[in-house]
């Protein structure tokens, strides 16, 4: 029927306005549309002007400065955790902004990777046919989904990370190898120091990856054409390990590890992650993995039972059923909620402000705003960062959705 | 020759492997060697966790003491619940004057009384009851909680709320007992059931007017002591903020969602911009914005108190999230419904109000409950900007000199409280989902109907 | 054309709002407070000793006492007071836009704050500073004996810097053990990980009180940094500044003169001391300049107490105190070698 998707009659079915002069001028849809929009524009404009004039007046009365000049002022405070070189008294507030963004991204990316993996495991545990395991997973999911993240965060901070042993009694998580050490001052780990020829190993790895991709494509084509499969998993893994490995050894193993050592009362060397960072990471992982577990479960359950039975009936092995029937059909249901969970992880990392991990909100929106004022500029810059991130993530989601839709046909 | 069995064959009991405990264990826990190992490891982990929690939380815990020092004297291994018990009033009511707590309790009771009819199967006019809860109850509760002098406006609104509550309650009772609505009952009681419709209407209006006047007269002499918002706190404040948030998010969300689906470009762009702005930033930045920028937006000398700032921020934030929920609900409505509405000559607002929205809202109820859970949990963030919501109070316990250092126990208690409330709500929303999904089976959602 | 009318009336309303907005009054703070019937005093989120909540939801603490004193001076009732707990981001905005009348929340008085933020600082009610906590059985009596000691400190604070300077100046050769979080810092100290803890004295005292055996620890008398904590008001309303300033001085003056909340009635009736009689409003007209009633200082002392009483109650060894000794510190009266000094009230 000739009705567009908003339920209005298509153009050629609309009453001809010129033949109905009696029709009031105002009942012409175009006129009304313009009028409503003008009205809306006037209201929005008036509101903006009103807020702007108030703000300008207030700023003038209170003798407050505006503008982004403050970004070039040197900042006098230190951040407890930094990924770039920054010295208090030397670095500027622009450095603080960048430092905050990097810290936010660092903790979010780690949390996203880990919570996705953990959530996947918990989701599969929920689907396990072992009653105990599935109930434990259920309890995990219900507990962490139904309590506020902020309470969990503070709980981990006060209740767990402040109870870790002191430096002398550090826990060695690597089982005696002393490359991963946990104590109440944070997590210390060995950190790679790249040598001169390491880039060759990197190139070898990239070559291996592209070879594997081509190889798998060829195998898939062969399967489609002839119906004969070709084992791809083992050769791919072998190639990915052997090629870079050989190059690495041939160039003389150009990678050294900086290992944390106990010197007096302090560990030195390696990389150190402070307790606030670990707390935030753990809280984000646990909270979001419980959500992700539920979407994995829902996604797998959304696959039609008949599909499974049919797959078994034509004699596919369980592994083939999983990889060729269940996962391809479950993924479209899992990925969109997964991506919006990633977005939530980035947003929720801003709760760092409650435990003092120096993320963007804590460094910039709290400390900097506290010291300098400039509320409007600072709020705008912080929001701009989060908007950029979330718009790019939803852009990714759109691309994925389009691809999935094409595959369906 | 046909052999016809006259009697039914008695059903045999299920095989032992299906119904006995051992059979169940075999099937669900020890079905394979891998599963057996998994079960044993899981059991061990459960044992350790439960044991620790039992000893800390119950066996070695101190329930009665006057200070943290006394707790330490009794036991240093267990929890000191005495502190939480001593602070219980503050955790629930914040700094509200202790003599006035009945007002909060009464307010809570009234909202239950108001909303119970929504769950009673025989009561009709649920839409009216629901709307009156959203639009009239806040005035009554707002006056109960904040007190002080009533202006004429508040007098009228409070009166309307009381009349409406009495009407609701009477209506439900009569519906339950007699199976007829309140107006019908009144008309019958006055013996006018055969009178023309106009007379009936005048009669009902007259009764309404009389009760309004009577209540107005009665409540104008009724006044409670003013309690400043700075004394609001605890779970009460959390519920107020999240309650106002959800009540205003729904209408706000509907408007924004319609704006986003509108075919007037300017309105669409403004709606999309607004929705995306608030949906893509964390709530804490919106709250910081509210406390630092709203004062600059206001005309000089006009002070918006912090509670209002926070509530505005929470409402804006949630309206944008609700807009997306509503949009999802609108998308699930089949195109035929729009076409049908137009074909019988309904305009835009009539189509939306009478055909589309009622269906879409029914779809969305589980999601709305879901957003309420999210909002309720998110409200704890207001403690970061210095309001004494439940988390703010829980964190203050460990700083009181009497209970100095008591941090974990209040947090555990708070988490438990949140868990109970949110778990109950999420179970309820799942129940609703099941209930509504059965009713929607014959309606095929049109997935292409996207905007 | 209903809609057009609506538009018009909307415009009329907004113009009216604008008009009313621009005619903001320039009333004095005292008049506003009197008209409102209570004082709005800003504190922060609970901090031991200065502003704390108890289980009944009442505020108490040294900074709260300042708020109460001002309320008592204006209204003769220390409870005509609304305490606002404001987060640190919004503290100066809340004062600037008139949300609070007085800020009394352990703000350190520094020159840049005083000159750039539109604030006027008042006389400090607590001279905080960095100090050291040690075990009593270590036998230490002075920070100068900490030669070669391991000391726990939180990183990223001026505490670390100050301690290093102090160690260098006095040749102490201190080695520092740094922490992100003071909870962890104290825990390490308790487990024997270091010989002493350093931090701001007031907060350390609070932390000691939360240790399992607070009696085994003590704070050394030395203070190695300056943190004068003071109340602040909006810049520009001098009458209001005077009122708050002299309310604070009245408490110190009362201690100098030996007037306490217990003996104030008797002193008022019987004292022959002219200073006492002037302070309590028996003689002279000190109240005129402030725009208050004759018994303003009497009300402060009667209801809130003198400075020493409040110190004892909240910072000292009182039931709600956090156990910071006063003797020999800068918070002692000037007559005992401290910095608490009130200009003469005559």
Q: What is the CATH number of the domain that holds A356?
A: 1.10.3720.10
In this structure, the number of other CB atoms found within 10 A of the CB of residue B434 comes to: 9
Which residue of A62, A80, A356 is in closest CB contact with C118?
Answer: A62
Q: Mean pLDDT over all residues of chain C? A: 82
Averaged pLDDT for residues B34-45: 88
Residues of B with CB below 8 A from C21's CB? 299-302
Query: What is the model's pLDDT at position A24?
Result: 63
Report the C-alpha gap between C297 and C286 in whole angstroms: 10
Tell if the CB–CB gap between C25 and B301 is shorter than 8 Å: yes
Query: What is the model's pLDDT at position B449?
Result: 37
Report the C-alpha gap between B364 and B433 in whole angstroms: 9
A109 domain-assigned: yes
Averaged pLDDT for residues C134-151: 85
Query: What is the model's pLDDT at position C24?
Result: 37
Report the C-alpha gap between A72 and B249 in whole angstroms: 41
For residue B7, pLDDT over 50 is answered with yes
Report the C-alpha gap between A381 and A375 in whole angstroms: 10
By the 8 A CB rule, do C147 and C172 touch?
yes
Tell me how many residue pairs between chain A and chain C have CB atoms under 8 A apart: 71
Q: Check for a shared fold between C29-127+227-336 and C130-219.
A: yes
Q: Mean pLDDT over all residues of chain B? A: 86
Nearest CA in chain A to C98: A62
Lowest mean pLDDT among B151-155, B305-309, C189-193, C282-286: C189-193
Q: Which of B301, B387, B407 to mutate to test the interface with C (most CBs of C within 10 A)?
A: B301
Bridge partners, A187 (sequence order)? A182, A273
Chain C: give the shortest CA distance to residue A356, in Å: 9
Confidence of residue C89 (pLDDT cuts 50, 70, 90): low
Averaged pLDDT for residues B179-190: 84
Q: ∠ CA A7-A12-A17 to the nearest 5 degrees?
A: 100
pTM of the predicted model as reported, rounded to 2 decimal places: 0.82
For residue C265, pLDDT over 90 is answered with yes
Judge whether A63 is closer than 8 Å to chain C, CB to CB.
Answer: yes
Residues of B with CB below 8 A from A366's CB? 288
By the 8 A CB rule, do B258 and B268 touch?
no
For residue C23, pLDDT over 70 is answered with no
In this structure, the number of other CB atoms found within 10 A of the CB of residue B407 comes to: 23
Which residue of A130, A142, A365 is in closest CB contact with B288?
Answer: A365
Chain C: give the shortest CA distance to residue A179, in Å: 21
Question: What are φ and ψ of residue A23, in 5° steps?
Answer: -55, 130
Lowest mean pLDDT among A107-116, B182-191, C258-267, C336-345: B182-191
Q: What is the rounded (10 degree) CA torsion for B357, B360, B362, B365?
A: -110
Tell if the CB–CB gap between B39 and A9 is shorter than 8 Å: no
Q: Which of B284, B371, B449 to mutate to test the interface with A (most CBs of A within 10 A)?
A: B284
Question: What are φ and ψ of residue A395, in 5° steps?
Answer: -65, -45
Which range of residues forms the domain containing residue A124? Answer: 93-190+259-408
Query: What is the model's pLDDT at position A4?
Result: 47
Confidence of residue C30 (pLDDT cuts 50, 70, 90): very high
Tell me how many residue pairs between chain B and chain C have CB atoms under 8 A apart: 117
B196 three-class SS: coil
Q: Tell me which residues of chain A have a pLDDT lower than 70.
A: 1-26, 63, 76-78, 80, 88-89, 162-169, 174-179, 184-185, 261-270, 405-409
Which residue of B263, B342, B380 is in closest CB contact with A3?
Answer: B342
Query: What is the model's pLDDT at position A21?
Result: 54
Which residue of C7, C93, C183 is in closest CB contact with A39?
Answer: C7
Lowest mean pLDDT among B14-18, B355-359, B442-446, C163-167: B442-446
Chain C: give the shortest CA distance to residue A229, in Å: 57
Model confidence over B250-294: pLDDT tens digits?
Answer: 889 999 999 998 888 889 999 999 999 999 999 999 999 998 888
Lowest mean pLDDT among A114-123, B312-321, C150-159: C150-159
Residues of B with CB below 8 A from A121's CB? none
Q: Which CATH number fits domain C130-219: 3.20.20.70, 3.40.50.300, 1.20.1300.10, 3.40.190.10?
A: 3.40.190.10
Query: What is the model's pLDDT at position A339?
Result: 87
Report the C-alpha gap between C325 and C205 in whole angstroms: 9
Judge whether A206 is closer than 8 Å to chain B, CB to CB.
Answer: no
Report the C-alpha gap between B213 and B79 in whole angstroms: 56
Which residue of C10, C14, C188 is in closest CB contact with A50?
Answer: C14
Chain A: give the shortest CA distance to residue B297, in Å: 5
Bridge partners, C60 (sequence order)? C52
Tell if the CB–CB gap between C156 and A265 is shorter than 8 Å: no
Report the C-alpha gap between A68 and A80 in whole angstroms: 25
A345 domain-assigned: yes
Split into its structural domains, chain A has a count of: 1
Tell if the CB–CB gap between B383 and A61 is shorter than 8 Å: no
B14 three-class SS: coil
Q: DSSP secondary structure string, B376-407?
A: HHHGGGGGTTT--BHHHHHHHHTTSGGGTT--
Tell if the CB–CB gap between C88 and A366 is shorter than 8 Å: yes
Q: Specify the length of chain A in residues.
A: 409
Query: What is the model's pLDDT at position C156?
Result: 52
Report the C-alpha gap between C25 and C29 in whole angstroms: 11
Sign of the four-CA dihedral C3, C9, C12, C14? negative
Tell if the CB–CB gap between B29 and A130 is shorter than 8 Å: yes
Tell if the CB–CB gap between A154 and B35 is shorter than 8 Å: no
3-state SS of chain C is: CHHHHHHHHHHHHHHHHHHHHHCCCCCCHHHHHHHHCCEEEEECCCECCCEEECCCCCEECHHHHHHHHHHHHHHCCCCCEEEEECCHHHHHHHHHCCCCCEEEEEEECCHHHHHHCCEEECCCCEEECEEEEEEHHHCCCCHHHCCCCEEEEECCCHHHHHHHHHHHHCCCCCEEEEECCHHHHHHHHHCCCCCEEEEEHHHHHHHHHCCCCHHHEEECCCCCCCEEEEEEEECCCHHHHHHHHHHHHHHHHHHHHCCCCCCHHHHHHHCCCHHHHHHCCCCCCCCHHHCCCCCHHHHHHHHCCCHHHHHHHHHCCCCCCCCCCCCCCCCCEHHHCCCECCCCCC
Question: What ipTM was assigned to the predicted interfaces of this complex?
Answer: 0.85
Q: DSSP secondary structure string, A65-110?
A: --SGGGGGSBP----SS-SS---TTTSBHHHHHHHHHHHHHHHHHH
Nearest to A204 by CA among A257, A236, A241, A252: A241
Chain B: give the shortest CA distance to residue A138, in Å: 12
A210 domain-assigned: no
Sign of the four-CA dihedral C165, C166, C169, C175? negative
Tell me how many residue pairs between chain A and chain B have CB atoms under 8 A apart: 180
Averaged pLDDT for residues C26-48: 87
For residue B353, pLDDT over 60 is answered with yes
Nearest CA in chain A to B287: A379
By the 8 A CB rule, do A82 and A98 touch?
no
Tell if the CB–CB gap between C181 and A265 is shorter than 8 Å: no
Chains that touch C (3 or more CB pairs under 8 A): A, B
Question: What are φ and ψ of residue B405, in 5° steps?
Answer: 90, 0
For domain C29-127+227-336, say whether CATH 3.40.190.10 is its number: yes
Q: Specify the length of chain B in residues.
A: 451
Rg of chain B, C-alpha, whole Å: 28
Bridge partners, C81 (sequence order)? C39
Tell if the CB–CB gap between B296 and A149 is shorter than 8 Å: no
A164 domain-assigned: yes
Token digits of residue A314: 């034509």
Sequence-ordered list of residues with C-beta below 8 angstroms from that of B209, at least 6 positions apart, any chain: none
Confidence of residue B432 (pLDDT cuts 50, 70, 90): confident
User: Where along chain C do its domains lie?
Assistant: 29-127+227-336, 130-219
Model confidence over C294-323: pLDDT tens digits?
Answer: 999 999 999 999 999 999 999 888 888 887
Residues of A with CB below 8 A from B276's CB? 387, 391
Report the C-alpha gap between C86 and C43 in whole angstroms: 6
Model confidence over B78-101: pLDDT tens digits?
Answer: 889 999 999 999 999 999 999 999
Token digits of residue A228: 């004969």
């Amino acid at each position: 029927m000739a009705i567009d998707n908003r339920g209005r009659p298509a153009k050629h079915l609309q009453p001809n306005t010129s033949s109905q002069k009696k029709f009031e001028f105002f009942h012409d849809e175009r006129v009304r549309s313009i009028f409503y929009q003008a009205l809306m524009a006037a209201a929005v404009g008036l509101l903006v002007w009103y807020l702007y004039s108030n703000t300008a007046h207030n700023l003038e009365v209170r003798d407050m400065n505006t503008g982004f000049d403050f970004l070039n002022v040197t900042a006098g405070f230190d951040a407890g955790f930094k990924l770039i070189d920054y010295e208090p008294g030397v670095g500027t507030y622009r450095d603080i902004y960048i430092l905050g963004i990097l810290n936010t991204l660092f903790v979010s990316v780690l949390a996203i990777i880990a919570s996705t993996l953990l959530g996947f495991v918990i989701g599969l545990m929920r689907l396990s046919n072992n009653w105990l395991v599935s109930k434990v997973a259920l309890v995990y999911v219900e507990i962490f989904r139904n309590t506020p993240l902020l309470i969990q965060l503070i709980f981990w901070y006060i209740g767990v990370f402040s109870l870790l042993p002191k430096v002398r009694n550090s826990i060695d998580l690597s089982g005696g190898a002393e490359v991963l050490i946990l104590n109440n001052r944070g997590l210390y780990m060995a950190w790679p120091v790249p040598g001169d020829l390491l880039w060759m190993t990197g190139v070898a790895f990239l070559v291996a990856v592209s070879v594997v991709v081509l190889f798998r494509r060829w195998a898939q084509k062969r399967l489609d054409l002839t119906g004969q499969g070709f084992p791809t998993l083992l050769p791919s893994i072998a190639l990915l390990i052997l090629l870079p490995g050989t190059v690495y050894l041939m160039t003389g193993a150009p990678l050294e590890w900086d290992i944390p050592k106990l010197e007096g009362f302090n560990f030195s060397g390696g990389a150190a992650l402070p307790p606030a960072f670990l707390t935030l990471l753990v809280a984000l992982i646990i909270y979001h993995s419980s959500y992700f577990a539920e979407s994995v479960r829902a996604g797998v359950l959304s696959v039609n039972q008949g599909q499974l039975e049919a797959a078994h009936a034509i004699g596919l092995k369980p592994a083939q059923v999983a990889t060729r029937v269940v996962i391809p059909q479950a993924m479209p249901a899992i990925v969109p909620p997964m991506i919006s969970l990633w977005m939530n992880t980035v947003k929720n990392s801003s709760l760092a402000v409650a435990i003092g991990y120096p993320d963007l909100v804590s460094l910039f929106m709290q400390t900097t705003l506290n010291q300098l004022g400039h509320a409007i500029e600072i709020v705008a810059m912080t929001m701009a960062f989060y908007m950029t991130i979330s718009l790019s993530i939803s852009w990714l989601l759109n691309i994925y959705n389009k691809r999935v839709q094409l595959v369906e046909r | 020759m046909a052999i016809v069995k006259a009697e039914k064959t008695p059903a045999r009991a299920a095989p032992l492997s299906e119904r006995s405990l051992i059979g169940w264990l075999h099937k669900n826990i020890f079905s394979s060697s891998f599963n057996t190992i998994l079960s044993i490891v899981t059991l061990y982990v459960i044992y350790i966790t439960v044991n620790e929690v039992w000893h800390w939380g119950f066996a070695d815990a101190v329930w009665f003491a006057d200070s943290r020092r006394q707790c330490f004297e009794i036991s240093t291994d267990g929890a000191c619940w005495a502190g939480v018990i001593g602070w219980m009033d503050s955790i629930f009511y914040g700094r509200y004057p202790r003599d006035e707590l009945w007002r909060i309790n009464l307010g809570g009771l009234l909202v239950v009384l108001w909303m119970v009819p929504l769950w009673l199967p025989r009561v009709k006019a649920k839409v009216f009851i629901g709307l009156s809860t959203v639009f009239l109850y806040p005035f009554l509760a707002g006056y109960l909680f904040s007190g002080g002098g009533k202006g004429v406006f508040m007098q009228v609104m409070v009166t309307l709320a009381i009349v409406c509550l009495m009407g609701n309650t009477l209506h439900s009772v009569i519906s339950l007992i007699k199976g007829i609505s309140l107006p019908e009952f009144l008309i019958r009681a006055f013996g006018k059931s055969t009178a023309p419709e106009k007379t009936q209407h005048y009669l009902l209006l007259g009764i309404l007017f009389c009760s309004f006047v009577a209540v107005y007269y009665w409540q104008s002499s009724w006044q409670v002591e003013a309690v400043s918002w700075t004394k609001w706190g605890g779970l009460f404040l959390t519920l107020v903020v999240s309650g106002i948030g959800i009540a205003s998010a729904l209408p706000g969300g509907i408007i924004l969602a319609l704006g986003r689906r509108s075919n007037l470009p300017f309105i669409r762009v403004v709606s999309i911009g607004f929705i995306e702005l608030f949906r893509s930033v964390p709530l804490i930045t919106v709250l910081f914005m509210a406390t630092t920028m709203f004062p600059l937006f206001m005309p000089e000398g006009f002070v918006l108190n912090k509670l209002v700032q926070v509530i505005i921020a929470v409402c804006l934030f949630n309206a944008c999230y609700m807009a997306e929920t509503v949009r999802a609900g609108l998308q699930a409505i089949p195109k035929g419904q729009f076409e049908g509405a137009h074909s019988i000559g309904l305009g835009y607002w009539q189509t939306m109000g009478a055909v589309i929205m009622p269906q879409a809202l029914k779809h969305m109820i589980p999601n709305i409950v879901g957003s309420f859970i999210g909002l309720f949990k998110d409200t704890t963030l207001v403690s970061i900007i210095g309001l004494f919501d439940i988390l703010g109070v829980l964190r203050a316990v460990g700083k009181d000199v009497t209970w100095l250092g008591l941090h974990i126990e209040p947090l555990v208690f708070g988490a438990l409280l949140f868990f109970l409330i949110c778990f109950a709500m999420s179970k309820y929303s799942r129940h609703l989902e099941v209930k509504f999904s059965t009713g929607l089976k014959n309606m095929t959602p049109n997935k292409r109907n996207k905007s | 054309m209903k809609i057009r009318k609506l538009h018009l009336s909307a415009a009329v309303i907004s113009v009216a709002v604008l008009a009313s907005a621009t005619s903001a009054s320039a009333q004095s703070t005292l008049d506003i407070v009197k008209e409102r019937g209570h004082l709005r005093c800003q504190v922060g989120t609970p901090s031991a000793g200065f502003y704390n909540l108890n289980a009944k939801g009442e505020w108490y603490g040294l900074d709260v006492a300042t708020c109460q004193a001002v309320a008592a001076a204006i209204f003769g009732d220390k409870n005509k007071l609304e305490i606002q707990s404001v987060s640190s981001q919004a503290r100066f905005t809340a004062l600037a836009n008139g949300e609070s009348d007085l800020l009394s929340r352990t703000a350190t008085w520094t020159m840049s704050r005083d000159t750039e933020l539109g604030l006027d600082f008042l006389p400090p009610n607590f001279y905080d500073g960095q100090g050291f906590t040690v075990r009593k059985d270590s036998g230490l009596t002075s920070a100068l004996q900490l030669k070669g000691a391991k000391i726990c400190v939180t990183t990223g604070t001026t505490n670390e810097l100050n301690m290093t300077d102090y160690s260098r100046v006095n040749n102490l050769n201190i080695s520092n053990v740094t922490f992100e979080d003071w909870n962890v810092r104290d825990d390490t100290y308790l487990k024997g990980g270091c010989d002493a803890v350093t931090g701001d004295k007031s907060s350390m005292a609070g932390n000691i009180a939360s240790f399992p055996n607070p009696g085994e620890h003590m704070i050394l008398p030395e203070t190695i940094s300056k943190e004068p904590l003071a109340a602040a008001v909006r810049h520009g309303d001098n009458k209001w500044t005077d009122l708050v300033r002299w309310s604070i001085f009245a408490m110190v003056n009362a201690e100098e003169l030996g007037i306490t909340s217990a003996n104030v009635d008797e002193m008022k009736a019987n004292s022959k001391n002219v200073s006492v009689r002037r302070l309590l409003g028996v003689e002279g007209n000190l109240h005129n300049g402030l725009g208050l009633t004759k018994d303003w200082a009497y009300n402060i002392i009667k209801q809130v107490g003198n400075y020493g009483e409040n110190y004892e109650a909240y910072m000292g060894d009182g039931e709600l105190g956090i156990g910071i000794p006063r003797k020999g510190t800068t918070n002692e009266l000037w007559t005992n070698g401290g910095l608490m000094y009130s200009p003469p009230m005559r």
